[in-house]
Amino acid sequence: MTTPTIEPAANERVNRDEANWAQPVDRLSAAGVTGAYDAVSGKRVSGPLQGFGQLWQKSFTVRLEGVDTTPQAVIATWKTHFADFWPRGQRFYAPLSGIQPGEVGLLEIQPVPGAPIRLSTGVLVLYADDESFTFMSPEGHTLSAWITFSARRDGDVVVAEASALERPSDPFDDLAYSLIGNRQNDKFWQATLRNLAAAAGATAPVVETVSVCIDRKRQWRYWRNVRNSATLRSARRTMTAPVRWITRRG
């Protein structure tokens, strides 16, 4: 009697999928990133379950009409040139090995266009394969979030998407999110998707946005997240920059 081959094949698929996930870590390290201020090393990850504010589910999609491509090609380009598709003035510093499971990238973001403060934070690459990759935020990030970048076929058209499950991290960020952060965040990813589509060759790409608040309750047990606030830390670092400059000169 011959042995069925379905089980080894299934195990092989499981092993390949496991390789696409980041290994559990207690503390993050951005040792493989250069050119940016490291405000992430030593921090833990903080997803939407550990956030303070209301829980939002968002998706930003763009159809690459008239573009002869594949989901795999779109994701490969997105990974390689991730920073190039961000709006002007926003910076992403990828690890030397690129966007791979378990790697950490650093960010420098203007919370509002023209603001003198740049938020220094980062992301953990939680998952990555040929058709998608997912980031998870660290402690102190303005949003406790998972955000996934993916591409798929819809008939003859490839659709690129950024989808997020996010909460403001602490009471301070929750107030800023309610006043302006929510809208700025939407504009950020809408611009990113348009830039990606234009680079792929799409003409006049249109980004469809779906934003739903799926839990209006605030998780008051996480109000202490403010202790790790990247917003407050970055503001303090900006205000003390002249003192540091004078000290170095002296």
Task: Provide the CB-side half-sphere exposure for 145 (13 A, CA).
Answer: 21
**What would the pLDDT profile of 64-87 be if each residue is shown by its tens digit?**
999 999 999 999 999 999 999 999
CA trace torsion 130, 71, 141, 99 (10° rounding): 40
Domain locations in the chain?
Answer: 26-238
pLDDT above 80: residue 231: no
The predicted-structure confidence for 130-181, as pLDDT tens digits, reads as follows 999 999 999 999 999 999 999 999 999 999 999 999 999 999 999 999 998 9
Please name the fold of domain 26-238.
Answer: Alpha-D-Glucose-1,6-Bisphosphate; Chain A, domain 4 (3.30.530)
Q: Are 77 and 146 in contact (CB under 8 A)?
A: no
Task: Read off the pTM.
Answer: 0.86
